[in-house]
Chains A and B, each alone.
Chain A
């Protein structure tokens, strides 16, 4: 499979909330970097993980599948998954695939962090 260019940067907004900045292309080939980023985001006990999609340039259906896997992982660990920085296009994709019913979407990082009380 083609290796797509994606990079993940993990930040800890506070003890309970981490942010994963996603840049580039999210496809099935992004599984390892995304799961590694999630591990890094939650290893210190974060209860909420915010996915910042403002650097997202491309996503196919394989990428959407990865978000479901991430959601399952978060639910299993009783963690909250949030998203911010989505363009109208990617917001529509989450609506189409009905992932917006499970991932709380906020316009900006500040809005998301305020919602979780960070």
Chain B
């Protein structure tokens, strides 16, 4: 492709901006991502995982484009109870930042967010910022398969820091798998399909990147745990 020719995917990608800015902070949301940078799986600490959650929408009579349009418009509705996704006012479009609160167990809720790095008619991708549980991206897509439309969420991730890696190893991965499986069921129900998602988990790289251990300073989990642990002492000194 020669310089000056506009690539076909030009409007589908966000532009690199260095640090994140949420265009709006809805009531009830906590902006913990402002000024943070996004992290790819390369910048994470833990083992690298590729997790795929796929559900068939056979019988729904919908095209992949229709599925993605609904998924973008109603994204927060498909998340399991107890988790919040604050969609950007302009919708899921490249460059937008969405804030979220994820229930991570033990009564803890982590406030974080995602950057929409890519979106087209058949897929969209979120990338996570510093402080998120994992470094990587999640791609949501829909496609024709065996004569019917299927929807899929695919996570390519590494725990950002040792604390999160520990949490993922001891129950976190299972919790995440249940989260996305429930999300896919809810999406299927939206199209009047009662289907069980297929989960496929592959450890892409077993090696942990100890050079990234310093990511812990950005960890929402670390900060939330510290805040909880020191709460009694703060009360005593007040």
Contacts and interface: CB of A to CB of B under 8 A. Distances in A.
Contacts of A92: 13, 15-16
B1 A97 contact: no
A95 B154 CA distance: 22
A62 B1 contact: no
B117 A98 contact: no
B123 A98 contact: no
A96 B125 CA distance: 13
- Chain B's interface size range is 20 to 34
A65 interface: yes
Q: How large is the interface on A (under 10, 10 to 19, 20 to 34, 35 or more residues)?
A: 20 to 34
A97 B40 contact: yes
Nearest to B37: A98
Nearest to A56: B1
A49 B131 CA distance: 33
Contacts, number: 80
Interface in A63-108: 64-65, 68-69, 71-72, 75-76, 87-90, 92-93, 95-99, 101-102
B162 interface: no
Contacts of A89: 7, 10, 13
A97 B117 contact: yes
Main secondary structure of the interface of A (DSSP, over half): helix
B42 interface: yes
A58 B127 CA distance: 20
B16 A95 contact: yes
A102 B8 contact: no
Interface of A: 1-2, 54-62, 64-65, 68-69, 71-72, 75-76, 87-90, 92-93, 95-99, 101-102
6 contacts: A60-B12, A61-B123, A61-B137, A65-B156, A72-B48, A98-B39
Interface of B: 1, 3, 7-10, 12-16, 38-43, 48, 117-118, 120, 123, 125, 127, 137, 139, 141, 143-145, 154, 156, 204-205
Given A56-B1, A89-B7, A98-B40, 20 more contacts: A1-B145, A54-B1, A60-B9, A60-B12, A60-B120, A61-B137, A64-B118, A64-B137, A68-B40, A71-B42, A72-B204, A87-B3, A89-B13, A90-B7, A95-B16, A96-B14, A98-B38, A98-B43, A99-B42, A102-B42
